[in-house]
Structure 1
Amino acid sequence: MSLLPEFRSNPAPAVGTRSRLLLRLRLGRREVLLRQTIIEPGGDSGWHYHDGTLIVLVTGAPLDHPGYDCRPVRYRPGRVFREPSGPGHRHLARNSGDRPLRLTVLYLNPVGSPLSRGVPSPPCAG
């Protein structure tokens, strides 16, 4: 029996993803959240951006993480990166590999913000 919460499927436009929230605390006008996400092979998050800054640890498979210009960006397992906030940093998280991709994400959000805000696919995404 695990004391950790179960993974739950993420809502559309995400496909083949599930997450669990491990920690949520409020520090003044900020909310700190720790979340784990699994993206199955062929799955993706849908195009989105965040109101707060994220610190992301990639494990399992590589993360394909193009921005709204569709320029390819790939983070290998073991990589930690910072994801900036705001609509100018729209992106997609995709697993093009053949094994599950795991993301451990620390969110530094304004209180009351959603974890992400969906946006339409850019024209270059075809």
Structure 2
Amino acid sequence: MTSHTDVLCRPEGMGIRSKQVSTRRDVCVKSLSRFAMTSVVTVAVFVSGCASATGTTENKASSPAPKIRAVDTTAGSPVSAVTISEKVVGKTDYVVKEITITPGGTTGWHYHPGLVFGVVKQGVLTHNMSNCSVDGVYDPGRAIAERSGADYVHIGRNLGTTPVVLDVVYENPVGSPLAVNMANPDCPFQ
């Protein structure tokens, strides 16, 4: 049986100092890209406060099925999210979700209290900053990282004809919402 394990995010104290945040983000994003592009059964598992992707290429019956904890959606909403896993480690809440944005849909303007790392599985995500500029167009297999804080208001848009599907890992302060909705900052789109 061939197996693999990719570390997605290493918590503080596991060989990465807090002043090396950019290195930590690079490790997370690169590993998350590999995670999303594998064609094996993949399960988000949290071990000792570290998100990892574990799967097998043979004997799929030996891989545990993912536990779907909740489906977050509002009837008629252009965005739905399936919570795959949640784990609190110290003062950090790690949440893994699969997010789907319908064609023509948007996430709405928002920011995140914590860091967000994701990979596009399907469709094309257009990402705009609060000054209305496009700061990224993400095709399938491309990784995206979003910094935290109210100074990084942004929107994700599906301008295509296929649903955008993202695998996302939130690294969030315990007790904080995953996203905070904001008003449109006078951009000609919502």
After TM superposition, the score normalised by the length of structure 1 is: 0.89
Q: Note the C-alpha offset of 1:81.
A: 1.9
Whole-angstrom distance in 1 between the partners of 2:139 and 2:171: 23
Whole-angstrom distance in 1 between the partners of 2:67 and 2:81: 12
Task: Kindly provide the CA deviation profile for residues 99-124 of structure 1, in whole angstroms up to 9, marking residues without a partner as x.
Answer: 11001110000000101000000113
Match of 2:98 among 27, 31, 36: 36
TM-aligned CA distance change 1:120 to 1:33, over 3 Å: same
Give the total of aligned pairs. 123
Whole-angstrom distance in 1 between the partners of 2:187 and 2:162: 27
* Residue pair 1:18, 1:37 contacting (<8 A) in 2 also: yes
Tell me if 1:27 matches 2:104.
no
Structure 1 residue runs of 5 or longer lacking an equivalent are none
Whole-angstrom distance in 2 between the partners of 1:78 and 1:105: 13
Q: Note the C-alpha offset of 1:74.
A: 1.1
Whole-angstrom distance in 2 between the partners of 1:95 and 1:4: 27
TM-aligned CA distance change 1:97 to 1:79, over 3 Å: same
Whole-angstrom distance in 2 between the partners of 1:10 and 1:19: 10
Q: Note the C-alpha offset of 1:76.
A: 1.4
Match of 1:48 among 110, 116, 138: 110
* Residue pair 1:68, 1:90 contacting (<8 A) in 2 also: yes
Aligned counterpart, 1:81: 144
Q: Which has the higher helix share?
A: 2
TM-aligned CA distance change 1:4 to 1:77, over 3 Å: same
- RCO greater where, 1 or 2, for CA within 8 Å and sep 6 or more? 1
Aligned counterpart, 1:9: 73
Tell me if 1:123 matches 2:186.
yes
Match of 2:131 among 43, 64, 69: 69
Q: Note the C-alpha offset of 1:9.
A: 1.5
Aligned counterpart, 1:92: 155
Q: Secondary structure at the residue paired with 1:85? A: coil
* Residue pair 2:99, 2:167 contacting (<8 A) in 1 also: yes
Aligned counterpart, 1:103: 166
* Residue pair 2:66, 2:84 contacting (<8 A) in 1 also: no
* Residue pair 2:67, 2:85 contacting (<8 A) in 1 also: no
TM-aligned CA distance change 1:8 to 1:29, over 3 Å: closer
Whole-angstrom distance in 2 between the partners of 1:8 and 1:55: 19
